[in-house]
Amino acid sequence: MSSTAGQVIKCKAAVAWEAGKPLVIEEVEVAPPQAGEVRLKILFTSLCHTDVYFWEAKGQTPLFPRIFGHEAGGIVESVGEGVTHLKPGDHALPVFTGECGECPHCKSEESNMCDLLRINTDRGVMLSDGKARFTIRGEPVYHFIGTSTFSEYTVVHAGCVAKINPEAPLDKVCVLSCGICTGLGATINVAKPKPGSSVAVFGLGAVGLAAAEGARISGAKRIIGVDLVSSRFELAKKFGVNEFVNPKEHSKPVQEVIAEMTNGGVDRAIECTGSIQAMISAFECVHDGWGVAVLVGVPSKDDAFKTHPVNFLNERTLKGTFYGNYKPRTDLPGVVEKYMRGELELEKFITHTVPFSEINKAFDLMLNGEAIRCIIRMEE
């Protein structure tokens, strides 16, 4: 065991004290892991739109003070009672969802939606005892989706930690903890395009670009990017996108435009925006008889999906996905190996790197639309 096992560790963390205000680097106390938990030393973390969304607290119940962050790579410092798949020194990725291994979802080959460890954005404490592992001057600081990686040390449920190849560069593979796997898996695991097929990707943010990367890896011949911001098209070429459609530049619905371009519709469509209209367009632009549309984006809670039932009767298929249908502990090590073999290119997703002391710069880059992924280097 490590020399610090069982002890409270004092370290630096970027604390959000209130919604939308700059994070403050504070000294926090991080308690030892309890039964079924792991304490990680975070070496690299990345900023995702989900962090920004909940930091802004627009449309959710605010929970502050809080330590955000959920895309990260680190090393196991110590483990709690009963943890057998991890040991101190292991290289690992914490994930916002988990794999308990015991529930019906975990035992199913068709699902990755663990009953116990499924994402919970409202919970700011650990499952085992309902308490936070972070404190400042004795007062609790809330966790974020079970990860809280904007801290030099964090405590995570062991089922939300994937052990990976120690040779993998953590400053690259840390981005697999959330958005990249979500888009990549939506294509590879759910849409499953065949070599030579056509794929439309709606939304060319980080998740959409990862979906396009999945289409490229799958051997799709035509990868059509659909976005309202034409300036994104040039960058998307690096991810295999070879045709572009901006719905604002057409007088007819974009699904009709795509159907005309592809002689009846694309073979697969991946929606990565959260827009209900984009979801409908993605479904209605796939070819009858065999077309499959996959929904990835999260809509507003009051939205409703409306399409004519004949679209289903004509043998179009509509699917949804959560985290690209990857089981974190079982499948994430294999995605890392795909990168190690050169089959998956992660470097092109990483547009910026900043030291931990400049974490607020990462937020500025994301808010200004300048970053796909900004890596935050914890050790300066």
Pairing mode, strands 292-295 and 222-226: unpaired
Q: Rounded to whole angstroms, how far apart are CA atoms 86 and 61?
A: 34
Closest CA to 71 of 185, 187, 124, 150: 150
Q: Rounded to whole angstroms, how far apart are CA atoms 1 and 79?
A: 8
Pairing mode, strands 350-355 and 292-295: unpaired
3-state secondary structure of 15: strand
Distances (CA, A) of 113 to 22, 99, 105: 33, 8, 6
Q: Rounded to whole angstroms, how far apart are CA atoms 332 and 93?
A: 8
Residue 164: beta bridge partners? none
Cis upstream peptide for 169 (omega within 30°): no
Q: Which residues are catalytic?
A: 48-50, 70-71, 100, 103, 106, 114, 118, 178, 373
| Beta-carbon count within 10 A of 259 CB | 19
Q: How many residues does the chain have?
A: 380
- CA dihedral sign of residues 4, 86, 68, 117: negative
Q: Rounded to whole angstroms, how far apart are CA atoms 280 and 295?
A: 10
Q: Which amino acid is at 220?
A: A
Residues 6+ apart with CB under 8 A from 166: 90, 91
